[in-house]
Amino acid sequence: MILDIINKKRLGKELTYKELDFFFNGFLNGDIADYQMSALLMAICINGMSDEEVFALTKIFIDSGDVLDFSDIPGIKVDKHSTGGIGDKTTLVIVPIVAACGGTVIKMSGRGLGYTGGTIDKLESIPGYKINLTDNQIIKQVHSIGCVITGQTADLVPMDKVVYALRDVTSTVSSIPLIASSIMSKKIAGGADKILIDIKVGNGALVTNRDDANKLSRLMKEIGRFYNKEVRTVISDMNTPLGLTVGNGIEVLEAIDILKGKEKSNPFVDLCIELASDMVSMSLDVSFDEAKDMVIEVIENKKAYKKFLELVENQKGDINKLKISEKTYKIKSLNNGCISKINALNVGKLVFNLGAAKAHVDDKIDYGVGIKFHKLVGDNVKKGDVLATIYYNKKLPEINIENIYKFE
């Protein structure tokens, strides 16, 4: 049976619900070996899956753990997910904005994958911030302030944890059907009524081309339809790092600047406003344009910033204790010209080498390190101008400016 199933997928045929259930649950229970699961994952990666197979796999993932029920909380609960990128701090900005507009957000976030930092790691740079809330604590907090950002509980889609760990080491992460069922199973089990997915596309993302991003978008909406949940998607660029900073604590500080209205016009702020408007529109059932007016208003009148402080305080964080490394190094331009590219992947690798993410499970994250850009794509610079500041703690890694910046 095990070999028949692997062989069937190797030949590009469709697997039944029963076959997928047997195989994936067999792996979770330890009856199917890593190497057999790896073979099936690779066959899926190469030959793809039909929509029916993806719906079946999503159900098998959801059924492997708890399904949270937040029906006691009034209002339409929205959740969002980003497929991940360098400098992606959108959750920190948009969750308080949506709650300040009167929307209801239960956001379950994850840790970093590869070079990309996770929202939970960023929040842990705020001393004291609790990321392991129980269901009751989540319900209580959402009743009182309209939002929560917490980690996923161990019992939420345990199948994804074991399958993801194997995908990570068998080069099968980038399969569109596997990404769709992994993300959507967690979002559906997480109990939201409506879901917004920010699909990142570019060299710093899991999905590197528009074609695959469109396929993923269609598939996630179809899974949403199957489960009777509205799913909206936004496809956004991930060739350039998002915003002005990459790190952990330093990204929290940037999020605060945006919430205070200090950062007004860069592509990252525009993306946050777009995503927040979609979430407000979904949560309050108003048009996107009406939602956008509300979003801009709560940034201008500082309600969004106050909501962020309430969120941190409710989760026992002390924002005044957040510390950024005091050791700095300035990257200066070697050229005169216009910046045509800041390479997201290479920035991710640099910040990773500074210690902002884990190379091994037992590593400790250095929350104070990172990079802040002073010049962005499209800016004209002269030789010697400061392009960016690096915040480091231990040894400064070798920095190859030409790997990061391109000029025209």
Residues tagged active-site: 81, 160, 167, 182, 186
Question: Binding residues for ligand URA, how many (CB under 6 A)?
Answer: 7
Q: Does residue number 150 form part of the binding site for ligand URA (CB under 6 A)?
A: no
Smallest separation (angstroms) from ligand URA to the CB of 177: 10
> Is beta strand 194-201 parallel, antiparallel or unpaired with respect to 77-82?
parallel
> Is beta strand 405-407 parallel, antiparallel or unpaired with respect to 370-373?
unpaired
Candidates 86, 97, 183, 259; binder of ligand URA (CB under 6 A) is 183
Smallest separation (angstroms) from ligand URA to the CB of 222: 17
Q: Look at the alpha carbons of 260, 264, 269, 270 in this order and tell me if their dihedral is positive or negative.
A: positive
Closest CA to 12 of 53, 58, 59, 56: 53
Smallest separation (angstroms) from ligand URA to the CB of 160: 7
Q: Are the C-beta atoms of 124 and 151 separated by less than 8 Å?
A: no
> Is beta strand 230-237 parallel, antiparallel or unpaired with respect to 194-201?
parallel
The DSSP call for residue 50 is: -
Subset of residues 281 to 310 that bind ligand URA, contact rule: CB under 6 A: none
Q: Does residue number 240 form part of the binding site for ligand URA (CB under 6 A)?
A: no
Closest CB to ligand URA: residue number:
182
Smallest separation (angstroms) from ligand URA to the CB of 96: 23
Q: How many Å apart are CA 342 and CA 322, to the nearest integer? A: 27
Nearer to ligand URA, 45 or 271 (CB): 45
Candidates 83, 172, 185, 217; binder of ligand URA (CB under 6 A) is 83
Subset of residues 305 to 334 that bind ligand URA, contact rule: CB under 6 A: none
Closest CA to 49 of 27, 17, 3, 81: 17
Nearer to ligand URA, 66 or 385 (CB): 66
Smallest separation (angstroms) from ligand URA to the CB of 159: 12
Nearer to ligand URA, 81 or 303 (CB): 81
Closest CA to 395 of 367, 350, 354: 354
Find the angle CA(312)-CA(272)-CA(254) to the nearest 5 degrees. 55
Candidates 179, 272, 344, 387; binder of ligand URA (CB under 6 A) is 179
Stretch that binds ligand URA, among 177-185, 232-240, 372-380, 395-403 (CB under 6 A): 177-185
Subset of residues 85 to 144 that bind ligand URA, contact rule: CB under 6 A: none
Nearer to ligand URA, 179 or 312 (CB): 179
Subset of residues 196 to 225 that bind ligand URA, contact rule: CB under 6 A: 206
Alpha helix segments (H runs only) across 101-134: 119-123
Smallest separation (angstroms) from ligand URA to the CB of 84: 6
Smallest separation (angstroms) from ligand URA to the CB of 114: 10
Q: How many Å apart are CA 340 and CA 355, to the nearest integer? A: 28
Q: Does residue number 54 form part of the binding site for ligand URA (CB under 6 A)?
A: no
Question: Strand, helix or coil at 307?
Answer: helix
Q: How many Å apart are CA 357 and CA 124, to the nearest integer? A: 12
Candidates 116, 172, 182, 245; binder of ligand URA (CB under 6 A) is 182
> DSSP letters along 255-288, please?
HHHHHTT---SSHHHHHHHHHHHHHHHHHHT--H
Cα torsion 297, 301, 305, 308 to 10°: value is: -70
Nearer to ligand URA, 39 or 179 (CB): 179
Nearer to ligand URA, 100 or 179 (CB): 179
Q: Are the C-beta atoms of 241 and 344 separated by less than 8 Å?
A: yes
Subset of residues 384 to 403 that bind ligand URA, contact rule: CB under 6 A: none
Stretch that binds ligand URA, among 50-58, 64-72, 174-182, 384-392 (CB under 6 A): 174-182
* List of E strands, 169-220: 194-201
Q: How many Å apart are CA 341 and CA 216, to the nearest integer? A: 26
Which residues are at the interface with ligand URA (CB under 6 A)? 83-84, 178-179, 182-183, 206
